[in-house]
Structure 1
Amino acid sequence: MLQNKALMSVVITSMLLTAPTQAQQNKFDEYKKQQKAKYERFADDYIQRYEAFKAQLIEKWGVAELSSATEYVAYSDDNNVKVIADFENDTIEVSIHEDALNALSKEEQNEAVKTAIESTLNLSAPEANKFNPEFAILESQASKKYDTTTLTHRKTSAPTLLNALGIKNDVELQESIAGAKEVPAGQQADIVTQRTKSRLAEQIAEVKQFAAREDVPEQKKEQAEKTALMLTADLNEVSAAKIDATVKNTKSYKIQLHRARYDKATNYLDAVYQQAERWQVAQDTLLAVIETESHFNPMAKSHIPAYGLMQIVPATAGADVNNKVFSKEKKPTPEELFNGERNIEFGSAYFNILMTRYLKEVEDPTSRMYCAIAAYNTGIGNLSRAFNNGERGRMAAIKQINQMTPEQVMRVIKSKTHTETQRYLDKVLSSKAYFAQHI
């Protein structure tokens, strides 16, 4: 009888222990399902709001020109004025959608251009992030409310986007505007058509490559695939005729800033020096990555999504740095990554992680550098596959790398990785050589 009671006790105890465990598992499974549904609703809501914003621009301009990794685009509150700061080509373009401009004198037109530039570019990066509707739509900011008050002549103590473009004061702005050239309407229509198609094609390639990365969370892959479809639809809908008809009702002016290539880095040299020392990464490497990623555009934004000077992806590099360096179990926010100094800190720390953790067993320092540059673009998983016959395995790949010369390592990267990564390595190495001569 005692044995039966003892046995029953064991059975009951087992049931009591098993039941809560199963309940906890069911609860966890339900939680995961709810989170996935929440993410999908959130992503869909983000796309809907973004599409609505683009529709407003298309109605006014014939095409929605939006910010990219190298261009910051801003519109007036009524969408009648468009300003594009192109950090790669070192230009500012102002298009004003008003017939009234035809009656203005040259001086009055210059003043209108000045007002447009000041209201959109005389902002610090945090202010631009807050007040530009395009950036307010970013998915991590979806629940926030934003004041879209026009900031004409707003005073700010932080460096502005004008400063980032090398314009330090009002005198320099006036001098730049005095050299503005009006772009004929027909020519402007061709320019807008071609650059929109080129911009979208580049963004589609970037997003598709990101979706193919091994280190990208599944939800982010799904979102990237949706984004690629959305961008492809945008590309297919670009209508030269519609753009031409719209541009006839605008006047466009282009300002060429004529900065030396090295001057673009001026605002960030101190931060690069500090982070290079801290994370033991060569200054020329950091500058080369910044130039390749954003051409020193502090408001750089891609559809991956990636943010800021070194194009940090919150879900991959950002989360890796927070976890391994700052012991945080969360991703950095876009607001955080649009802070230039903070962005350089994240990018430098991530490059250090690549060099000293993921690639620490690579014996040749030049081979390690080539691999780190490629991995910064494509992820350590995809890099490993290139050296391991398409199979997973970091250490198996490193074993192969250690049997190669740096030249052989480069040949593998330039033949077995994604086309974007091959181009990326070339660009960074060329830029690195340039900055090595100018630091």
Structure 2
Amino acid sequence: MKKLSLMIALALLPTAAVSDSFKDLDNAVTELNKPAYIERAEFLEWHSNHLAEFANWRKEYIKKWDGERKDSIQTWGDTVIDSEHLAVEVSADNTSRTIIDFEKETVTFEVLVDEGLEPKDITTLVSQHVEQAEQLESLLGSNLLSAVTYEELSERDLDYSNEKEKTALREILAQTNQQLQEMEKEVELLAETSGAEVDPKLVDQQKQELVDDALTRMQVLNNIYEKQRERVAEDSRSAKIMTYQVRMPSESLEKRIAPYLADIYKQSEAFDIEPALVLAIMHTESSFNSRARSPVPAFGLMQVVTTSAGHDVNRIVHKVDKPMNENDLYQPDYNIEAGTAYLDILNSRYLKHINDPQSREYCVIAAYNTGAGNVAKAFGERRLANAVEKINTLSPEDVYHTLINHLPYDETVNYLKKVTDRKAMYREEKGAV
């Protein structure tokens, strides 16, 4: 009957449409019968193009990132720009800036002044800047004017010393290590979703290019500092930076969290992830700074990477096989859904065979930061399946201590500690979750 229906349907189609239908069917049959070696070759070609495309995108992103750092060095003598836990607002005339440190819960006001300016005039300049900075209340979650006394107004010189340069160089090294970690994570996810092993030579080539880029960035940075040192030596005039710092009010953290709680509850229920864990991840990733970004590059409250976690969530949850968009990830509701969905993917797919829920949660936390492959390495295995077998013979306490002592990156060790401690804190604070 079905065959007859198909024949009738084809008979009613125009001749060209019938021809196209049979052509599509032939193509589909050819695709199904394609030899494995051809599928492998096509996959490797696709993977090569994918890596190259992302590498070019990342280079452009880092170029902009380094451009902002260069501007900061030339004006302020440091590399303080928007990042995971910092929000930096610079005035239109580039003579004052506000640095919000969400992790340390401090707000620093800085003003460039000419040497010899009267103290009362300096206080006036700083106070004017502080009042202008109150427009940042939405980021801070509170008003700071009540905390302002100017008793600790201090000054510093523009510093282009070798020590300052070394600090900036170490930042590039740390960024490169993060990017290498992320590349490993992307390779893992690709192998997991495609069922095919990627070409190790191609991955090694991409890693080497990343290292070469880092060396170039370091040389450029050295040149910037050298030029600034020469300029300062030749310039008889000198400017100082007047600095005034206050602590955020005690209720600031609670007020920053409040706008996101409804979405946290919603996505936690949708993906069966405990709200306290989402809060702890968000706190550790961005300190609830919705415009957080990193050179990985990752974006937003839960620091989602467009091409690894973002692509995975798109493919599995949204049924769209493409990376996420950077601008979308700055939207809190979208970011919270993406981050929570990725926690669920780790918990219910990649690490689902870990029997004990607490052991699995420790591994999910570590994998959110560094990838499941590096979790496997902590247990002395290259393959996750082999690591899971070992994990299932251990108590949750032993799993935690193994991760703490053997994860390949110190950053992930500290991350696991922070998230675990903060999750316990948010569970205790019933009002928060």
Q: How does the TM-score come out when normalised to structure 1?
A: 0.71
Partner of 2:417: 426
Task: Give, in angstroms, the shift of residue 112 of structure 1.
Answer: 2.8
Task: Give, in angstroms, the shift of residue 36 of structure 1.
Answer: 6.8
Partner of 1:210: 182
Is the 2:76–2:158 Cα contact (8 Å) retained in structure 1? no
Partner of 2:369: 377
1:172-321 → structure 2 map (5 Å cutoff):
172-178=143-149, 181-185=152-156, 193=164, 202-213=174-185, 214-215=187-188, 218=203, 221=207, 224-225=210-211, 228-229=214-215, 248-260=239-251, 263=254, 264-321=256-313
SS at match of 2:240: coil
Amino acid at match of 1:414: I
SS at match of 1:96: strand
Given candidates 59, 73, 76, the residue that maps to 1:58 is: 73
1:61-210 → structure 2 map (5 Å cutoff):
61-99=76-114, 102=117, 104=121, 106-107=123-124, 109-115=126-132, 117=133, 122=135, 162-167=137-142, 172-178=143-149, 181-185=152-156, 193=164, 202-210=174-182
Is the 1:262–1:438 Cα contact (8 Å) retained in structure 2? no
Partner of 1:138: none
Partner of 1:365: 357
Task: Give, in angstroms, the shift of residue 82 of structure 1.
Answer: 2.3
1:79 and 1:303, CA in 2 relative to 1: closer, same or farther beyond 3 A? same
Partner of 2:317: 325
Is the 1:180–1:254 Cα contact (8 Å) retained in structure 2? no
Measured in 2, the distance between the counterparts of 1:36 and 1:432 equals 35
Q: How does the TM-score come out when normalised to structure 2?
A: 0.72
Amino acid at match of 1:272: I
Partner of 1:334: 326
SS at match of 1:315: coil
Measured in 2, the distance between the counterparts of 1:358 and 1:105 equals 58
1:281 and 1:261, CA in 2 relative to 1: closer, same or farther beyond 3 A? farther
SS at match of 1:83: strand
Measured in 2, the distance between the counterparts of 1:31 and 1:201 equals 30
Stretches of structure 1 that go unaligned for 5 or more consecutive residues are 1-16, 123-160
Stretches of structure 2 that go unaligned for 5 or more consecutive residues are 1-29, 191-202
SS at match of 2:250: coil
Partner of 1:11: none
* Identity across matched positions, percent: 29
SS at match of 2:110: strand
Task: Give, in angstroms, the shift of residue 175 of structure 1.
Answer: 2.4
SS at match of 1:298: coil
Task: Give, in angstroms, the shift of residue 381 of structure 1.
Answer: 1.9
Is the 1:63–1:238 Cα contact (8 Å) retained in structure 2? no
Measured in 2, the distance between the counterparts of 1:321 and 1:346 equals 6
Is the 1:366–1:406 Cα contact (8 Å) retained in structure 2? yes
Given candidates 397, 409, 421, the residue that maps to 1:407 is: 397
SS at match of 2:89: strand
Amino acid at match of 1:406: P
Measured in 2, the distance between the counterparts of 1:363 and 1:308 equals 32
1:237 and 1:437, CA in 2 relative to 1: closer, same or farther beyond 3 A? farther
Task: Give, in angstroms, the shift of residue 204 of structure 1.
Answer: 4.9
SS at match of 1:381: helix
Q: Deviations over 1:166-204 (max 9, x none)?
A: 12xxxx3432445684223269999x9598678666545
Measured in 1, the distance between the counterparts of 2:401 and 2:52 equals 44
Amino acid at match of 2:181: Q
Task: Give, in angstroms, the shift of residue 436 of structure 1.
Answer: 0.9
Task: Give, in angstroms, the shift of residue 319 of structure 1.
Answer: 0.6
Task: Give, in angstroms, the shift of residue 416 of structure 1.
Answer: 2.2
Larger CA deviation: 318-327 vs 220-229:
220-229
1:41 and 1:428, CA in 2 relative to 1: closer, same or farther beyond 3 A? closer
1:353 and 1:44, CA in 2 relative to 1: closer, same or farther beyond 3 A? closer
Amino acid at match of 2:178: E
Q: Deviations over 1:97-146 (max 9, x none)?
A: 2439945374553123322x25xxx4xxxxxxxxxxxxxxxxxxxxxxxx
1:379 and 1:40, CA in 2 relative to 1: closer, same or farther beyond 3 A? closer
Task: Give, in angstroms, the shift of residue 256 of structure 1.
Answer: 1.5
Task: Give, in angstroms, the shift of residue 76 of structure 1.
Answer: 2.9
Task: Give, in angstroms, the shift of residue 316 of structure 1.
Answer: 0.8
1:343 and 1:224, CA in 2 relative to 1: closer, same or farther beyond 3 A? farther
Task: Give, in angstroms, the shift of residue 429 of structure 1.
Answer: 0.7
Partner of 2:5: none
